Amino acid sequence: MALKQQRFSKPQLLIFAIVFGLVGFIIYKSFAAGTGIYYVDPNGSDTADGSQATPWKTVAKACLSVPAGNGSTIHINAGSYVENSTCRLPNLTSLIGAGSGQTIIKASSMSVTPLLLVQNTTGAQTISDIKLDGQNRTTSNYGLQAYSTKNLTITRISASGFKNITDNTGSAVDIKDATDFVLSNSTLTNSGGEGSGYCNGVLGIGNMNRGHIHDLTVSTDAGYAVKASGSQVAVTDSEIYNSDFKVLSSKCANLATLTFEMFQTTASNSQIYNNNFDGIVSLTGPEINPTIGNPKTNGDKYRWRLHNNQWTISSGDRYAIESSNNSLEVDHNFVSGGIYPFSYFETQTLHDDYFHHNVIDNVRWHTVFSFFKSGLQGAIYEKNTVVIRPPIDVGAWYGVFDFNTNASGNQINSNIFDATFAMGDKLAANSTTLNSASIDNNNFFNITPHGTNSIAGDPQLQLSGSFPTAYKPRSVSAANVGAFADGDWTVGPQQTPAPVPGDLDGDGHVTVTDLSVLLTYFGTNNPTADIDKSGKVDITDLSTLLSHYGT
Residue 85 and residue 65: Cα distance in Å, rounded?
14
Q: Specify if 486 maps to a domain.
A: yes
Do both 384 and 527 map to the same domain?
no
Residue 484 and residue 479: Cα distance in Å, rounded?
8
CATH number assigned to the domain comprising residue 527:
1.10.1330.10
pLDDT value at residue 19? 54
pLDDT value at residue 34? 47
CA 226 to chain centre: 9
CA 146 to chain centre: 16
Q: Answer for the pair 447, 470: CB distance below 8 angstroms, yes or no.
A: no
Q: Specify if 349 maps to a domain.
A: yes
β-sheet bridge partners, residue 56: 40
The half-sphere exposure of 29 on its side-chain side, counting CA atoms within 13 A, is 10
Q: Specify if 296 maps to a domain.
A: no
Do both 504 and 473 map to the same domain?
no
Q: Domain range holding 545?
A: 497-509+520-551
The number of domains in the chain is: 2
Give the DSSP letter of residue 147.
E
Q: Specify if 148 maps to a domain.
A: no
Q: Specify if 21 maps to a domain.
A: no
Q: Answer for the pair 189, 219: CB distance below 8 angstroms, yes or no.
A: yes
Q: Answer for the pair 485, 479: CB distance below 8 angstroms, yes or no.
A: yes
Do both 399 and 528 map to the same domain?
no
Please name the helix (run of DSSP H) or strand (run of DSSP E) that holds residue 226, with its range, or none.
strand 224-228
Q: Specify if 202 maps to a domain.
A: no
pLDDT value at residue 79? 97
Amino acid letter, residue 90: P
Do both 481 and 415 map to the same domain?
yes
Please name the helix (run of DSSP H) or strand (run of DSSP E) that holds residue 106, with its range, or none.
strand 103-107
Q: Cβ–Cβ contacts within 10 Å for residue 241, how many? A: 21
Do both 451 and 485 map to the same domain?
yes
pLDDT value at residue 170? 86
Do both 457 and 505 map to the same domain?
no
Do both 474 and 347 map to the same domain?
yes
Q: For 208, list phi and psi in degrees, rounded to 5.
A: -145, 130
Do both 353 and 415 map to the same domain?
yes
Q: Cβ–Cβ contacts within 10 Å for residue 217, how many? A: 16
Q: Specify if 420 maps to a domain.
A: yes
pLDDT value at residue 219? 94
Q: Specify if 550 maps to a domain.
A: yes
Q: Does residue 391 have a cis bond before it (omega within 30 degrees)?
A: yes
Please name the helix (run of DSSP H) or strand (run of DSSP E) that holds residue 546, with its range, or none.
helix 539-547
Coil vs helix vs strand at 63: helix
Do both 356 and 458 map to the same domain?
yes
Q: What is the pLDDT along the chain (551 residues), one digit of tens a residue?
A: 444 444 545 554 555 555 555 555 544 444 433 458 999 999 999 999 999 999 999 999 999 999 999 999 999 999 999 999 999 999 999 999 999 999 999 999 888 889 999 999 998 999 999 999 999 888 888 999 999 999 999 999 999 999 876 777 789 999 999 999 999 999 999 998 776 667 889 999 999 999 999 999 999 988 899 999 887 889 999 999 999 999 987 667 666 678 999 988 889 999 999 999 998 899 876 566 788 999 999 988 899 999 999 998 876 678 888 888 899 999 999 999 888 888 887 778 889 999 999 999 987 777 788 876 678 899 999 999 999 887 666 666 678 888 877 889 999 999 999 998 888 898 988 888 899 999 999 999 999 999 999 999 999 999 988 888 899 999 999 999 999 999 888 765 544 455 677 887 766 678 877 887 788 778 876 767 888 777 788 888 888 888 888 77
Do both 411 and 397 map to the same domain?
yes
Between the alpha carbon of residue 354 and those of residues 82, 340, 386, the distances in Å are 51, 17, 16
Residue 253 and residue 239: Cα distance in Å, rounded?
29
